[in-house]
Chain A
Amino acid sequence: MKFFFKLILFVFSLATIVGCKKSENLDLKGSTNSENTIKYASGLSINTFEGYSVVKVSNPWPEANKNFTYILKEKNGSIPDSLQKYPTIQVPLQSIVVTSTTNIPFLEMLRVEKSLVGFPHTDYVSSEKTRKRIDAGRVKNIGQNEKLNMEQLIELAPDLIVTFGIDNNNPMIDNLQKSGLKVLIQADWMEQTPLGKAEWIKLYGALFGKQKEAKTLFDEIVKNYNDGIQLVAAQKPTATVLYGSMYGDQWYVARGNSWVAQFMKDAKANYLWANVEGTGSLSLPFEKILEKAKTAKYWIATGSFKSITELKNSNPHYNQFDALKSNNVYTFESKLGATGGTIYYELAPSRPDLVLKDCIKIFHPELLPNYTFTFAQKLN
């Protein structure tokens, strides 16, 4: 028994050493020829070498137990043997299928939207440019993210399908790969910082051979975002903010380290749940919300409400909040595209500078007197 235990330990140690060596190889190459060009996105790294680049996607979904490495191979580029085991994608891409609306703005900003040939549930796409292409039949509706239409995809034969997983079990992705299609898992939705989400434009830059354009565009966004932070630097966060809405008996508020809370912090607002550790949202009973936020000055409501009356009608208890009584309710989700997609969901991750500006306009209107909201809407 003891012998077997030792044997297992030995094999395990050997495997670990070998494993470490392999990853060392990759890192070594990186340190000699190239460095990761990603600064804000925690789940993405791109190392560019001559003729190819190495893309790593880590933390692709909550509690993920694997990372993904992809080799983007340029024409005539050669890939070292040590990297042959990773999926290779021929770049620049000529055709692509993406499965999240958040990716559409990246394609448009890089002016490669014409290569988009398929999207699941095309009604979600709001961008006018891409909508025109959908209406003209140039972008095929390929089912839903969890159940993509395999036959249609095989016939479309895009150079790459960029999709996302939501947990460790993704039979759809396995099936796609088995049928010979190239699949890349992206995880912009897992990023919790505004600039982290937007930096994923660089992945599309790498996929379409437009690294420079992607960098310039992203640098501009960073500059705008930092300008926004500078604008409110001298302000005091006195505006108390209630966030979320009630679903059933539960009220969902954003946790303190979430994307939403970060915007409020950067816009110098006093978000009432800023101290709740963690990302994502927290469900709270109505009683707790009322006690804490009755006198909050602002209420950022979630949901596609169009007016105060609609909000009031949706729940009798909403009337209790001072923010509603003083007409200080805003929502980011009421602007919809031609076919019902929420513009904020689609565009906000790639344009955090605009979201921040909207937030500043809400909480410190005197600083941006002539600015009109991009996403936000005051409910009247």
Chain B
Amino acid sequence: MNNQKRNTILFILLTLGLILLFFVNISFGSISIPFKEIYTSLTGGQASKSTWEYIIINYRLPKAITAILVGMGLSISGLLMQTLFRNPLAGPYVLGLSSGASLGVAFVILGASLLPPFLSTILLSSYGVVLASTIGSSVVLLAVLVVSQRLRDTMAILIVGLMFGSFTSAIVGVLTYFSSAEQLQKFTFWSMGNLGNLSWSSVSILTICVGIGLLLSLFSIKPLNALLLGENYARSLGLNFKKTRLIIIFATSILAGSITAYAGPIAFIGLAVPHIAKLIFQTSNHSILYWSTLLLGASILLFCDVISELPALEIMLPINAVTSIIGAPVVIWLLVRKQKMIA
């Protein structure tokens, strides 16, 4: 079977898998709702219980869409970072964007008592947390951009990103130390990731942000392929490296910043999904990797969300833990298998 045919089949399978997982995600939750009722609610009809209708339309549906957006956005920013930095360990968080977002949220949640009461009331609402998170990641982004103007070496930017991460984590640590149990609890829950508390208006804003990020990344497919050959070689091919780098950093920041703001820091997806895509499609061509990463990211997060709900059980696992617990062994297994095949 030639590669193109194989890829076409894989794409069809992935798309079908994504559609299937989307419906599985909506169908299963901690309470069991008959499929007929789910179908009725989704097609605009009236379910026999108003709570069922609400759960499907206003809880499970936005959650499934959020999972798709988060999965796509984080995976693509992971892919962009890994190619830009030519480092398999790079992910959307290496630039310190997630740490920046965490710092913003930490200031609001943990440092609220230091602010005047009227300000802390506004900031402690759900919008306040989103605002703080976006400001946090944007501040780090601006700092990284300023540094990247001065540094030619991409690896140096990677290190600067890591340093920003450490710096912000340290401040979060200090804030944590002086916080009350209630504040700590709130921050801990935010840091565990959460897909389920988004209203439709939040989902719309997230869709716009992720849409912009994905569109920008789509335009960088060609330069990314050139970048695989190395920065100097890419330059000799006529690539405006500085501009490309800016676009990629900007796209990643929008993706990681908005997602972290709404869903909290979600581990593993950004780092691992591009690897899974590369292993399945066995290519480094970004015009294939882009779409496969997109589909895989969305499917994997939908799957993790189904697992986190533990259908029909009364407990729920934090999505952040599920993504790592399920994802990490899969990546290890795939890597070992690939090595064996090569050997």
Contacts and interface: CB of A to CB of B under 8 A. Distances in A.
Given A286-B196, A291-B31, A313-B126, A249 B59 contact: no
A306 B308 CA distance: 32
Contact of B189 (A247, A303, A306, A316): A247
Contacts of B308: 249
Nearest to B305: A249
Contacts of A314: 124-126
Nearest to A282: B314
B125 A313 contact: yes
Nearest to A309: B125
B252 to A, nearest CB: 25
Contacts of B121: 306, 310
Given A313-B126, A315-B126, A249 B55 contact: no
A287 B192 contact: no
A77 interface: no
Given A124-B180, A248-B318, A316-B197, A287 B29 contact: yes
B200 to A, nearest CB: 8
Given A285-B309, A285-B316, A313-B126, A249 B51 contact: no
A285 B51 contact: no
Nearest to A312: B125
Interface in B147-195: 177, 180, 182, 185-186, 189-190, 192-195
Contacts, number: 84
Give the one of A285, A290, A291, A313 with max B CB within 10 A: A285
Contacts of B288: none
A18 interface: no
B113 interface: yes
Interface string A309-329: 010011111001000000000
Contacts of A306: 121
A166 B190 CA distance: 24
A294 interface: yes
Interface residues of A, number: 31
Interface residue tally of chain B, by bracket?
Answer: 35 or more
Given A286-B196, A291-B51, A317 B59 contact: yes
Nearest to A285: B30
B31 A288 contact: yes
A367 interface: no
Nearest to B52: A291
A11 interface: no
Interface of A, helix, strand, loop or mixed by DSSP: mixed
Contacts of B127: 313
A317 B125 contact: no
A285 B29 contact: yes
Contacts of A247: 185-186, 189
A252 to B, nearest CB: 9
A341 to B, nearest CB: 9
B198 interface: yes
B194 A287 contact: no
B126 A249 contact: no
A248 B113 contact: no
Contact of B197 (A246, A294, A304, A342): A246
A303 B121 CA distance: 13
B315 interface: yes
Nearest to A288: B30
A51 interface: no
A35 interface: no
A283 B315 contact: yes
Contact of B316 (A283, A313, A340): A283
A123 interface: yes
A249 B196 contact: yes
B58 interface: yes
A124 B199 CA distance: 34
Interface string A239-250: 000000011111
Interface in A38-90: none
B54 interface: yes
Contact of A248 (B29, B58, B197): B197
Contact of B55 (A290, A304, A315): A290
B31 A248 contact: no
A358 B326 CA distance: 47
B30 to A, nearest CB: 4
Contacts of B125: 310, 313-314
Interface in A278-306: 282-288, 290-291, 294, 303-304, 306
A249 B194 contact: yes
B197 A315 contact: yes
Contacts of A342: 182
B230 to A, nearest CB: 43
A248 B30 contact: no
Given A248-B318, A285-B29, A320 B54 contact: yes
Nearest to A247: B189
Contact of A287 (B31, B185, B189, B198): B31
Contacts of B315: 283, 285
Given A249-B197, A282-B314, 9 more contacts: A123-B113, A144-B177, A249-B318, A285-B29, A287-B30, A287-B55, A291-B55, A313-B126, A316-B202
Which A-B residue pairs are the 8 nearest by beta carbons? A316-B199, A248-B189, A285-B30, A313-B125, A248-B194, A247-B189, A287-B31, A249-B196
Interface of B: 29-31, 50-51, 54-55, 58-59, 113, 121, 124-127, 177, 180, 182, 185-186, 189-190, 192-199, 202, 264, 308-309, 314-316, 318-319
22 contacts: A144-B177, A246-B197, A248-B192, A248-B193, A248-B197, A249-B319, A250-B189, A282-B314, A283-B316, A284-B314, A285-B29, A285-B30, A285-B316, A286-B59, A287-B31, A290-B55, A291-B31, A306-B121, A310-B121, A316-B126, A316-B202, A340-B180
Interface of A: 121, 123-124, 144, 246-250, 282-288, 290-291, 294, 303-304, 306, 310, 313-317, 320, 340, 342
